[in-house]
Amino acid sequence: MYYATVIKHFSAAHHLRDYEGKCERVHGHNYRVELQLKSPIVDRSGMVADFTVLRQALEKVLQRFDHQDLNEVRPFDKLNPTAENIAKLVWEEMNIKFNTRRIKVSKVTVWETESSFATYGPS
């Protein structure tokens, strides 16, 4: 299996609903988002997918969150803006674009800090 991964960053504020602790108050993160695609074969040029195309697609999804209060941006106006929920949303949107007979979205990892992250992907 071949894997291709791109990384993008965005900065945003959020707070967690139904949570007791410091994260119930508004605070910010410099998020790191990793998108990984997989394929059993590469194309004629030897790639799973063009990194530029992957970065542009990921950027398009993330730009609506950059420098925003995530609790005010759909779907996080109703859904808790946790790293887990952000990873799932990004995976779902990337899966629409990159789900072909050859290529699948393997996983999306969202880092809130250098030591804290959540990953979503099919089992």
Domain boundary assignment for the chain: 2-120
Q: What is the mean pLDDT of the chain?
A: 96
Fold of 2-120: Tetrahydropterin Synthase; Chain A (3.30.479)
Three-state DSSP at 80 gives coil
Cα–Cα nearest to 105, from 118, 117, 80, 88: 88
Query: Nearest 5°: phi and psi at 69?
Result: -90, 110
When pLDDT is cut at 50, 70 and 90, the band that residue 80 belongs to is very high
What confidence score (pLDDT) does residue 123 get?
Answer: 74
Tell me the whole-structure pTM to 2 decimals. 0.95
Answer yes or no: is pLDDT of 122 > 90.
no
Token pair 């992907």 is found at 121
Q: Is the pLDDT of residue 53 over 80?
A: yes
DSSP reduced 3-state for 51? helix
Per the CB < 8 A criterion, the answer to whether 9 and 32 are in contact is: yes
Average pLDDT for residues 84-96, to the nearest whole number? 97
